[in-house]
Amino acid sequence: MVQLVSNIFANNFTIMNSSKIVPISIILMLVSIVMIPNFAISQNNENKTIKDSTKQLEKVIVTAQKRAEYLQKIPLAVSSLDAKQIKALQILDIKDLSSIIPNTYSADPGDARNATSIRGIATTSYDPTVAVYIDGVNQFSLDTYIPNLYDIARIEVLRGPQGTLYGRNSMGGVINIITKEPTNQTNGFGEISIGDYNQQRINAGFKTPFLKDKLFFGMSALYEARDGYYKNDFNNLSYDKQNGFSSNYFLNWLISKKWSAKLNVKNRSQKNSGAFPLVTDLNEAINNPYRLNQNAVTKMIDNTLNNSLSLNYIGTYFNFNSQTAYQSNYRYYTNPIDGDFSPYDIISVKNNFGKDWNNIKVLTQELKFTSINNLNSKFKWTTGAYLFYQDAPVKQATHFGEFASMMVGDSLFSLTNITKTIKKGIAIYGQLSYAIQPNFTINLGLRNDYEQVTQSVLGLYQHAPDNTEYTTTPETSAKINFNALSPKVSLDYQVNNNSLTYILFSRGFRTGGLSPLGSDPSQPPLIGYKPEYSNNFELGMKNEMFNRTLRFNIALFYTKIADAQVPSLVLPDAVTITKNIGKLNSKGIEAEVLSRPVKGLMLLYNFGYTNAKFETLNLSQQGSSVDLSGKNQIFTPDITSFLAAQYNHKISTSKIDAFIRAEWKYTGTTYFDLANNIYQSPYSIINMSVGVSNEKYGVKLWSRNLTKQKYISYAYDFGAVHLGDPAHIGITVSYQF
């Protein structure tokens, strides 16, 4: 296996071209540092947070493999951000991880449904390629997940396929989010941020024991509001003006020394007056930024509920966890939304048909057994089962207005598509680690997922002025089922207490399904498509050096995608037809460096390079076949580079701590359509902040996108583009007890 991976990298790694010499030279320099013999490193500090009073880095504990382990001991590419780092980076939404984490890109068209890519494995439909877990609960699809972040203890980003432990839709990786839980200590916090665009962000929380050592309660809440970044020339008003409320509640019960229970309730209610701020002219979007002209003005109402109940057992021979979760999302537009993104009454889309429609519900159940945390044991294992049930009734009408004849030859009629989808599945998984020698370990894993999709469709037609309803497609049903095997094998060698090398093969998959109904009569509904698979080979090295003041992790990867699902957005229906018609190869390198060279100074540098191209891709367009072999993957920057420097200084003998921080984020060339005609050239974002704090109070002044960089963050393949956030400044005041 070692020789196989060696040959793969030798034959496929060509990363030194003229446009990338500087970033790659940095990586080569860092690799040479790793070759320096490690200094003696103290192993006495086991704290989970960075101590400002020392230069030493913390030993980070993560649960990436569904058990508590040291970050530097895991044979896997994992990035971990603790609460202090999240606050310093101002990560308020999942998309804020973009380019901060190596080879990671995330953006949305304005509706907060983030399309996330890791290592060239990109989300292109409502079934993501990067799974998001919050407090152990799989955010099942882009319909039911919660993007905004607050009161977070830790974020873990697992790069590469994670099918064995995480299953469906984790073929690119996993974002694992852990929120802060209540303990025996009563504490609370409050934080207010205000900025331009009338931005307001109020976050508060409280945690306390109801019964010491027995029953604990915690809650946190977030209110967000801002004016729109865009201005609508049609009515001369702000567009994409938003406000929302989110909350998170915990009730933890220590039933006995071995048994505990946890109830968690999350809620998000969001209103957006202009969910899709899109401009169909690329040059106009850049030259006249943050302006659009849409006649159909509406408000998106987006309500999400996420509840879970966990039961935990810590035993003599094994540990056990049961987690039952229920998710729902009801999302609709109060009035029809603009479908042509112009000031003319051409196309609009209606989905407000009452709570029986567009109200997605998901029920999941996971049962997990793990070995006890015995450092002397050669065996460590995890096994379990996962079950789910999803009910997705969707009703959507496309209205062709007064000027629709310019596009379709007729006007003043509506097409209504009704789709009812039931998904259910079960998975059984297991993973085993065995220490062949004290410093040499083999890891084996296997998962079998079985899934069934049942879908029915119905097409209706209405024409003004009588609006008599006719059936265009009679109610039609279909069913598809499939199995997916996700194996994993890795070998890791502990060179010394501070250096680990590993080699890894892992597999992930994105679920298959049925394509819904479209208005094109030549395109029959309910065509099945298979899962797509990612097979990943990885070679990595993790090091801590210089008395644990420098951490350096590096990974090389090569990933092959079989049966690639290629979606085609059908307009004006706004439905996606998916087919398995491609093969994709992705290869690259990533490095993470964290250092405290002197007291008070922190340096962070993350780098990623991805070369993701389609080996084969023949796409049907307008009755003909287009060969797109050799084209680049979408939503995949070729380079991500992030540098942050922060200096903290204690003011005299007081307890006041002052800091100054600067960040540079570089995102390479990014394509948004399969033909590679719509793309964003490389760009940089500069962020800065400065502030003071003591044990209770804090004040921070901040600036995002200081140089007012204009860039495309998201685009559809038909040419509508959405710009990234503009420059903005603000102040944050916080209090904790």
In the chain, the amino acid numbered 88 is A
**Nearest CA-CA partner of 423 in 387, 458, 391, 386:** 391
Q: What pTM, to 2 d.p., does this model score?
A: 0.90
- Over range 74-97, report the average pLDDT: 95
Residue 359: its pLDDT value, please?
95
Q: Which CATH architecture has domain 2-736?
A: Beta Barrel (2.40)
Asked whether the beta carbons of 559 and 535 are under 8 A apart, the reply is yes
Output 113 or 684, whichever has higher pLDDT: 684
CA distance 303 to 210: 30
CA distance 679 to 698: 41
| Confidence tier at 697 by pLDDT (50, 70, 90) | very high
Asked whether the beta carbons of 634 and 673 are under 8 A apart, the reply is yes
Asked whether the beta carbons of 111 and 300 are under 8 A apart, the reply is yes
Torsion angle in degrees (nearest 10) through CA of 367, 373, 378, 381: 10
- Over range 180-201, report the average pLDDT: 95
Classified as helix, coil or strand, 602 is strand
Residues 538-563 have pLDDT tens digits of 999 999 998 889 999 999 999 999 88
DSSP per-residue codes, 652-713: TTSS-EEEEEEEEEEE--EE-STTS-SEE--EEEEEEEEEEE-SSEEEEEEEESTT----EE
Domain locations in the chain?
A: 2-736
Percent of the chain scored above 70 by pLDDT? 90
Q: Which two tokens stand for residue 257?
A: 């020394």
**Nearest CA-CA partner of 723 in 250, 230, 343, 326:** 230
Residues 622-640 have pLDDT tens digits of 556 789 999 999 999 999 9
Rg over alpha carbons for the chain, rounded to the nearest Å, is 26
Beta strand segments in 255-374, E: 259-273, 291-292, 300-314, 318-333, 337-338, 347-350, 359-371
- Lowest-pLDDT range, 19-23, 68-72, 399-403? 19-23
Residue with tokens 């202090």: 84
Is beta strand 679-680 parallel, antiparallel or unpaired with respect to 670-671?
antiparallel
Q: Which two tokens stand for residue 53?
A: 């009073």
- Over range 444-458, report the average pLDDT: 95
CA distance 456 to 475: 7
Residues 581-627 have pLDDT tens digits of 889 999 999 999 999 999 899 999 999 999 999 999 987 765 567 89
CA distance 108 to 714: 6
Residue 7: its pLDDT value, please?
47
Asked whether the beta carbons of 386 and 427 are under 8 A apart, the reply is yes
Residue with tokens 């993470």: 592
CA distance 141 to 684: 31
CA distance 72 to 253: 32
The partner residues of 213 in beta bridges, in order of sequence, read none
State the average pLDDT for the chain: 88
What are the angstrom distances between the C-alpha of 52 and each of 43, 334, 600, 602, 716? 18, 50, 6, 10, 45
Q: Which two tokens stand for residue 675?
A: 């033909």
- Lowest-pLDDT range, 120-134, 245-259, 670-684, 714-728? 120-134
Q: Which two tokens stand for residue 158?
A: 């697992």
Residues 229-280 have pLDDT tens digits of 999 999 999 999 999 999 999 999 999 999 999 999 999 999 999 999 999 9
Cβ count within 10 A of residue 83: 16
Percent of the chain scored above 90 by pLDDT? 73
Residues 634-666 have pLDDT tens digits of 999 999 999 999 999 988 777 899 999 999 999
| Confidence tier at 521 by pLDDT (50, 70, 90) | low
- Over range 291-313, report the average pLDDT: 95
Residue with tokens 């789910």: 388
